[in-house]
Amino acid sequence: MVRKEQLKLRYLSDNSNPVAMIISICSIPLPPWELEENSKNPDLVYTDSSGCCNPEYISLGCNSLSVLRGRTPIQAYSDYMKIFRERFKDYMEKVIVEIQVGMGPCGELRYPSYPESNGTWRLSRIGEFQCYDKVLKTYSISMYNTELTAGYYNTRHHDGYLPIAQMLGKHGVVFKFTCMEMRDGEQPEHEKCSPEGLVQQVEMATRTAGTELARENSLERYDSGAYSQVLVTKRSDSGNGHLHI
């Protein structure tokens, strides 16, 4: 249908469980066989210090372990991508012009440090380390606790986004980043967050690494203020990226 209408298709591949996030508007569950393995062995998923397991994403600690019916998660991901490429090879680059690969919870490259659905987290609180399973055993303040618990070593003295930009650029992968519609002045002061500062840091990291940056909005907003802010962030670009709304 897409080819017939001479349109282009962006494909989103996400290996996380969206039902664990309140903000999810699209619910495509994990394969039944993976959910079955998770239920038999809760240590396959991330666990906090209170023993609460998070079903959003299989733990990185399992990457090299044959925990999925004799296969490792990396093997399962690889098999899936090979089958997809073979099945849709006639559409690649002609119809399917972009493939977005999910790298963690909600498709984001991070740990599931702030689960909302079970009531253990709410906005303005810092996240919690998810490293208490058997396998693994706030932006404007100096400690950057929110990012650190999500897996980003980003402090005043260490740029946590430059190494990521360099890694993606090395393999010709686009760095996709969100919150382009957010402004500092719209955030409650007690939350100590700076979306504009974060966007500027990521822009600088991708520019330094020579990596392409794709921008997108985080929230579903239709007001002129949010759209204007998206345009502002786009104009700050030096030609190393593109915009998704």
- Tens of pLDDT, residue by residue over 136-188, are 555 555 556 666 666 778 888 889 999 999 999 999 999 999 889 999 999 88
Q: How many CB atoms lie within 10 A of CB 60?
A: 16
The arithmetic mean of pLDDT across residues 34-43, rounded, is 86
Q: Which of 187, 182, 221 is nearest to 199 (CA)?
A: 182
Instruction: Identify whether residues 107 and 209 lie together within a single domain.
Output: no
Give the active site residue among 37, 116, 191, 216.
216
**Helix (H), strand (E) counts: the chain:** 6, 7
Question: Rg of the chain over CA atoms, in angstroms?
Answer: 19
Domain end among 137, 171, 202: 137
Domain span at residue 54?
Answer: 1-137
Of residues 235 and 4, the one with the higher pLDDT is 4
Q: Please give the tally of structural domains in the chain.
A: 2
Q: How many CB atoms lie within 10 A of CB 236?
A: 11
Threshold 0.95, pTM exceeds: no
Is residue 153 in a domain? no
Instruction: Identify whether residues 8 and 128 lie together within a single domain.
Output: yes
Tokens of residue 103, six digits: 């790298």
Instruction: Identify whether residues 51 and 99 lie together within a single domain.
Output: yes
Is residue 220 flagged as an active site residue?
A: no
Instruction: Identify whether residues 44 and 121 lie together within a single domain.
Output: yes
For residue 1, what are the contacts with CB-CB under 8 A and spacing of at least 6? none
Is residue 5 flagged as an active site residue?
A: no
Q: How many CB atoms lie within 10 A of CB 82?
A: 10
Tokens of residue 210, six digits: 């020579």
Tokens of residue 196, six digits: 């504009």
Name the strand (E) or helix (H) holding 13: strand 9-13
- Checking if the pLDDT of 18 tops 70, the result is no
Domain end among 72, 103, 137: 137
Q: With contact defined as beta carbons under 8 Å apart, do 182 and 195 qualify?
A: yes
| DSSP-assigned letter for residue 155 | B
Give the active site residue among 108, 128, 147, 203.
108
Is residue 78 in a domain? yes
Of residues 151 and 105, the one with the higher pLDDT is 105
Instruction: Identify whether residues 3 and 102 lie together within a single domain.
Output: yes
Of residues 168 and 108, the one with the higher pLDDT is 168
Q: Give the CA distances from residue 105 to residues 19, 61, 69, 192, in Å, rounded to whole numbers and listed in that order.
A: 11, 15, 22, 24
**Confidence at residue 103, expressed as pLDDT on a 0 to 100 scale:** 82
Of residues 105 and 6, the one with the higher pLDDT is 6
Domain end among 107, 137, 167: 137
Alpha-carbon span 190 to 13, nearest angstrom: 36
Instruction: Identify whether residues 176 and 231 lie together within a single domain.
Output: yes
**Confidence at residue 22, expressed as pLDDT on a 0 to 100 scale:** 46
**Confidence at residue 61, expressed as pLDDT on a 0 to 100 scale:** 83
**Confidence at residue 100, expressed as pLDDT on a 0 to 100 scale:** 87
